[in-house]
Amino acid sequence: MKPTLQKLLLYRSVNTRTHGVRHGSCRAYRYERHTKSEKDKRSNRGSMHSHQRHGFDYTPLFRFLLSKVGHPWDEVFSEAKARLDRPEPIFWMVAMHESDKEESVRTDENSYYSGLWVDEAGLVQKVNPMLTPEQMGPFSDYDTHTFNGVVFAQSSARKRWAKPTV
């Protein structure tokens, strides 16, 4: 009997308990809970535990999907779905309808990936295969941005202020 190789998951857990990690749901509640107007609405206030899922990085999924351009969608979807905790992140990057197509998809604060779609033949395709970071628009000179997992070239303004290496 041959041992079967288990494929790696297409997401990873990220530490969310570190000091300074902020999530969108807790900040709004923290600033409104002691106001006079909120004291009258205590029965209407929702749970302190939102149903948002924090602490997952889907970068391996996005790289997997980019590597499957030109492959049949049914095979790609079934493999990705089997290696994920839930199927929704697949559709952050892959458009199933013509009206949902986007040239680039922002997956994090400074991470961008090529948008994908399923063509009439059922194959995964890039929305704009010739897209480069320079065509996407102006970005901050002081942040590090990535496009399809590759860091953008630094602008001349950032290089000018960088410390020289010894």
In a domain, 97, yes or no: yes
pLDDT, one tens digit per residue, over 37-64 is 555 555 455 555 555 566 788 999 999 9
In a domain, 104, yes or no: yes
The Cα angle at residue 7 between residues 74 and 64, in degrees rounded to 5 = 55
> For position 103, what pLDDT does the model report?
93
pLDDT, one tens digit per residue, over 81-97 is 999 989 999 999 999 98
For residue 65, the surrounding DSSP H or E stretch is helix 59-67
In a domain, 30, yes or no: no
Domain that holds residue 95: 56-159
- Within 68-165, residue ranges assigned H as helices are 73-82, 90-93, 133-136, 156-161
In a domain, 47, yes or no: no
The Cα angle at residue 111 between residues 153 and 53, in degrees rounded to 5 = 165
pTM: 0.68
CB of 136 closer than 8 Å to CB of 147 = yes
**Quick check: 30 pLDDT over 60?**
no
Find residue 150's DSSP bridge partners: 147
In a domain, 103, yes or no: yes
CB of 115 closer than 8 Å to CB of 95 = yes
- Tracing tokens 């535990």 back to the chain, one arrives at 49
Domain count, the chain: 1
